[in-house]
Structure 1
Amino acid sequence: MAEQSVVFSFFLIFTGAAIVASLALYTRQPLLVAYIALGACLGPYGLQMVTDTKLLTDISHVGIIFLLFLLGLDMQPSHLIHMLKKATLVAIGSSVLFFIIGYAVGFSFGYTQTECMIIGIALMFSSTIIGIKLLPTTVLHHRHTGELVVGLLLLQDIIAIMMLLFLYSGTGDSSDSETMIKFAKTLVALPLLILGAFVFVKFILLKLIQRFDRFHEYIFLLAIGWCLGLAELANLAGLSAEIGAFVAGVSIATSPIAQYIATSLKPLRDFFLILFFFSIGASFNLALVGLIAIPAVILALLVLSLKPIIFRFLLSHISESPAIGWEVGFRLGQISEFSLLIAYIAAGSMMIGEEASHLIQATAILTFLLSSYVVIFNFPSPIAVSDKLRRD
């Protein structure tokens, strides 16, 4: 794509986003809805004014990386370890239940066994972006509910990475032994990445920060370099860039400079996240709506209604209160951006057809929109409609 085309695309996206965001705020609607709707209108299946959605998706992925980095900056390592230990059974139990639900719905609508399995896998996860974007950074991140949401999302991300490795193994001629080697590499890479990050921070990064903390531009560049560097290292090691960015954040969370870095990077994060939600709307083929409308609506309603109930039930078994169980369940009441990636990879490797892929995409979009409405009308969030619930 030529440079002029990129600039023109950005003009359309951000000028359009400013207009629809203004309308959304006047009508008291969530901004995420506006960005996705704008993508559908301007994208290749709408007015065809923005056509290179792959480029936008690649660029917007940086927003997810920054989101996880900022999240890590707010997480104390000791609290995180405790929460991951506590939430493991809940994450596994909920994943199994939603796999069964997704498989059953796919089977009832006549999809193939492989397509049913992929649909089931797609329903296992909740959206890291929606879940964390709607968490108040100054309130819930320092409270039990926020730590529980984050712990569950991270555990789901780890499970999702394992599923993606399985799918990637189906895209080529990898033998069973090669697939096992990939899994082993991932299991070894994660603790090594964490250990290496903390050692580097202690002996190099913090010393650089202490020596040059008067130069704010340098601290800003150092933070971005550390975040993206560890994200890329994690990606090369067979993990995800998101996991690497989160580890990068946690590794400097105990430093006094962590909150300054978090405040500095928030505008950059929001810039890329607007692109992410726009690309979701732009990549959806509106011509297939008639074929997938009924199963997509059924899947979305099942996710929205059963996730709160299932999380409430499972969390009660680790001594969480009903109020916390319900709030966590509603905050995780959607499927994930990992689900979109799973649909893309499975369709690209011919494991599922275009219709099944778009079914997953439609379910993701519906649950993103509807769960956002549920959260912003009922729980504290930075974009809550009510002044009483708005917490940044």
Structure 2
Amino acid sequence: MVSVFVELAGILVIALLVAMIVRAMRQPMIIAYILTGVIVGPMLFNIASSREVFEPFAKVGISLLLFISGLSINPKVVKHLGKVVFLTGIGQIIFTFFAGFVAALLFGFSSISALYIALALSFSSTIVVTNLLGDKDELDTLHGRIATGFILVQDLIHIVVIVGLLTFATLSSSHFVSTSLFWKILQALVIVLFLFLSAVYFLPSITRSMAKSQELLLLFSITWAIALGAVFEYLNFSVEIGALLAGITLSMSPYKYEINSRIKPFRDFFLLVFFIWLGTQIAEFNFLSHLPQLIVLSSIVLIGIPVVVMSIMGLLGYTKRNSFLASLAVAQISEFSFVLSSFGLDFGHISSDELALIVFVGIITIAVSSYAISFSDKLYRALAPYLSIFEQRGKKVDEQRRMTKDSYDVILFGYNRIGYSLRKAFVKLRKKFLVVDNNPEVIMKLSQEGVDCLYGDAEDVELLNELPLRKAKLVVSTIPDLETNHVLLSTLKERNSEAIFIGVAHQIDEALELYEQGADYVITPHFLGGEHVASLLQSYAFDREAFEQEKKKSLRDLHMRKREGHRGVIHHRD
């Protein structure tokens, strides 16, 4: 008989190989986790035979996932969400739920199975949306903020759904046949009150003390999540609810981001174990007989969600570009869909065949959505002429601009960091300049300061056609994305070949490619930084007083940039 250790080693090797293939295909790691579970389960190779060993670790994975979800729900942030986030987020959930429920009933599923299928289709993936938009540096764009706002609203709703489902299942179990329901509710209220008081009065000082050591902070966070889950299980409540509430109690901590980033690797590993366990629950699945169901349910998510989101955002007065990009970002089902489905299987509400259907709909929607997000700009350019039906005429709520002149000497794309320094040079030279940026907060701040500015993306050809490029003497792009600079440079050469173009590149090959296309100068920040330090050394050698003066100037500049809202240099967009 193969030992559990050897079995786990074999599974991890398979997981690694699958992850490498998935990564090469530019897909999120959650796809690799799901596929690994299917491959090692009884449906294919049946390697994961020690189901009873994996089950408690799978529960830890779910608990950490819910802990991080609770950690991300900050009540102080919720009140700042705009109308578009609430109306569109809730409208999308209502449509997807009813469409999924009706479709499942028409396919012959029972009402309870149709309920689980509909719930599984209703929520979008926090992991997929934040990771892919983060990779594209679009979390701070308007469509990125709206999409993550949808996710936040959905997180609140799926937390209510999970708590309601687990509470119903717990109160319906044999533990409570002879127990007063009133007493259990009172018990729950006392626990919640205790946790609220702890979050307000005790946890801040505890986390502040623990934060002096990163290892202690990590250990405390995991212990808090697991221990609270254990307390809830001891009291005949759900482990998962305990872990979720543990996260919520830390959601207002100033160390929440540090806790989040340090726990994520543990969450990902145990999430892999969860999907391995989930794979062991799928004995067989006939793709051919379930093909109509897969196509219809996947279409509700991949086509239905974008149409609903674009329709609602269009009615609220948003441009078709932001509506389209935000809708693509949320067109997949959530990791919580699998968690809900696993609960349904545990409670006997759905069969392993129905669980498999939800799992494969998840694989399809996450895979297609990931490519759609990655190539969203190209998709928009191809579909833009047909998307006008989702856009109202007249001024749009997301068309933020302050343009007081008909022409400008300089048009600057991207204000953060490099653009900030260039702005000071343009002011000193007394040149008329226009700033174009896709961060709505940047545009609002510049507008308040009396700077001519325009909200938009440099890849948006329709926006470029509206700009007064023909009279510009200089166009500067501080955006290090090669494709964006290609679009911008080719448009400029068509409309004003005499204008000087300055771009930014972080790779040598990309800089050379821009030069070949006709760029007049390409800024390479890392190399210029090295040259600047070399120049200081040549000028000052080991003169400490000279470096102290440079330090003071650097500190003044850093504090000024911090007040401007600039972030760390790890971000891609300059």
Please report the TM-score for the alignment, with normalisation by the length of structure 1. Answer: 0.74
Q: How does 1:175-194 map to 2 (within 5 A)?
A: 189=189, 193=192
Partner of 1:156: 158
Partner of 1:250: 251
Which of 114-123 and 136-145 deviates more? 136-145
Q: Can you list the C-alpha shifts for 1:143-172, whole angstroms capped at 9, x where unaligned?
A: 733244223232233234435555666776
Q: Secondary structure at the match of 1:21?
A: helix
- Contact 2:229–2:243 (CA under 8 A) maintained in structure 1: yes
Q: Tell me, in whole angstroms, the C-alpha distance in 1 between the residues paired with 2:69 and 2:354.
A: 33
Q: Tell me, in whole angstroms, the C-alpha distance in 2 between the residues paired with 1:214 and 1:297.
A: 52
Partner of 1:45: 43
- Contact 2:100–2:297 (CA under 8 A) maintained in structure 1: yes
- Contact 1:43–1:49 (CA under 8 A) maintained in structure 2: yes
Structure 1 residue 224, shift from structure 2 partner: 1.8
Residues 309 and 240 of structure 1: CA distance in aligned 2, closer, same or farther (over 3 Å): farther
Q: How does 1:299-318 map to 2 (within 5 A)?
A: 299-315=297-313
Identity among equivalent positions (%) equals 23
Partner of 1:293: 291
Q: Can you list the C-alpha shifts for 1:191-230, whole angstroms capped at 9, x where unaligned?
A: 973x644532443333234445443332222222233344
Structure 1 residue 374, shift from structure 2 partner: 3.0
Structure 1 residue 287, shift from structure 2 partner: 4.0
- Contact 1:64–1:129 (CA under 8 A) maintained in structure 2: no
- Contact 1:197–1:251 (CA under 8 A) maintained in structure 2: no
Q: Can you list the C-alpha shifts for 1:284-305, whole angstroms capped at 9, x where unaligned?
A: 3334334323212221122111
Q: How does 1:44-83 map to 2 (within 5 A)?
A: 44-53=42-51, 55-56=53-54, 58-70=56-68, 77-83=75-81
Letter of the structure 2 residue corresponding to residue 295 of structure 1: Q
2:214 is the counterpart of 1:216: yes
- Contact 2:70–2:248 (CA under 8 A) maintained in structure 1: yes
Q: How does 1:48-197 map to 2 (within 5 A)?
A: 48-53=46-51, 55-56=53-54, 58-70=56-68, 77-83=75-81, 87-132=85-130, 134=132, 136=134, 140=139, 144-145=145-146, 146-163=148-165, 165=167, 189=189, 193=192, 196-197=194-195
Residues 232 and 369 of structure 1: CA distance in aligned 2, closer, same or farther (over 3 Å): farther
Residues 259 and 206 of structure 1: CA distance in aligned 2, closer, same or farther (over 3 Å): same
- Contact 2:125–2:151 (CA under 8 A) maintained in structure 1: no
Unaligned runs of 5+ in 1: 380-385
Letter of the structure 1 residue corresponding to residue 13 of structure 2: T
Residues 351 and 65 of structure 1: CA distance in aligned 2, closer, same or farther (over 3 Å): closer
Letter of the structure 1 residue corresponding to residue 145 of structure 2: H
Q: Tell me, in whole angstroms, the C-alpha distance in 2 between the residues paired with 1:185 and 1:315.
A: 43
- Contact 1:84–1:155 (CA under 8 A) maintained in structure 2: no
Letter of the structure 2 residue corresponding to residue 144 of structure 1: R
Partner of 1:14: 12
* Number of residue equivalences: 376
Letter of the structure 1 residue corresponding to residue 158 of structure 2: Q
Letter of the structure 1 residue corresponding to residue 293 of structure 2: P
- Contact 1:88–1:155 (CA under 8 A) maintained in structure 2: no
Structure 1 residue 373, shift from structure 2 partner: 3.5
Q: Tell me, in whole angstroms, the C-alpha distance in 1 between the residues paired with 2:374 and 2:54.
A: 27
Residues 281 and 127 of structure 1: CA distance in aligned 2, closer, same or farther (over 3 Å): farther
- Contact 1:44–1:282 (CA under 8 A) maintained in structure 2: yes
Q: Secondary structure at the match of 1:285?
A: coil
Q: Secondary structure at the match of 2:77?
A: helix
Structure 1 residue 244, shift from structure 2 partner: 1.8
Residues 38 and 350 of structure 1: CA distance in aligned 2, closer, same or farther (over 3 Å): closer
Q: How does 1:340-351 map to 2 (within 5 A)?
A: 340-346=338-344, 351=349
Letter of the structure 2 residue corresponding to residue 297 of structure 1: I
Q: Secondary structure at the match of 2:80?
A: helix
Structure 1 residue 247, shift from structure 2 partner: 0.4
Bigger strand share: 2
Residues 139 and 99 of structure 1: CA distance in aligned 2, closer, same or farther (over 3 Å): closer
Structure 1 residue 306, shift from structure 2 partner: 0.8
Backbone CA RMSD of aligned residues: 4.4
Partner of 1:262: 260
Letter of the structure 2 residue corresponding to residue 155 of structure 1: I
- Contact 2:132–2:373 (CA under 8 A) maintained in structure 1: yes
Q: Secondary structure at the match of 1:286?
A: coil
Q: Tell me, in whole angstroms, the C-alpha distance in 1 between the residues paired with 2:56 and 2:106.
A: 35
Q: Secondary structure at the match of 1:82?
A: coil
Q: Tell me, in whole angstroms, the C-alpha distance in 1 between the residues paired with 2:69 and 2:171.
A: 31
Unaligned runs of 5+ in 2: 378-480, 485-569
Residues 118 and 151 of structure 1: CA distance in aligned 2, closer, same or farther (over 3 Å): closer
Partner of 1:276: 274
Please report the TM-score for the alignment, with normalisation by the length of structure 2. Answer: 0.54
Letter of the structure 1 residue corresponding to residue 153 of structure 2: G
Which of 323-332 and 101-110 deviates more? 323-332
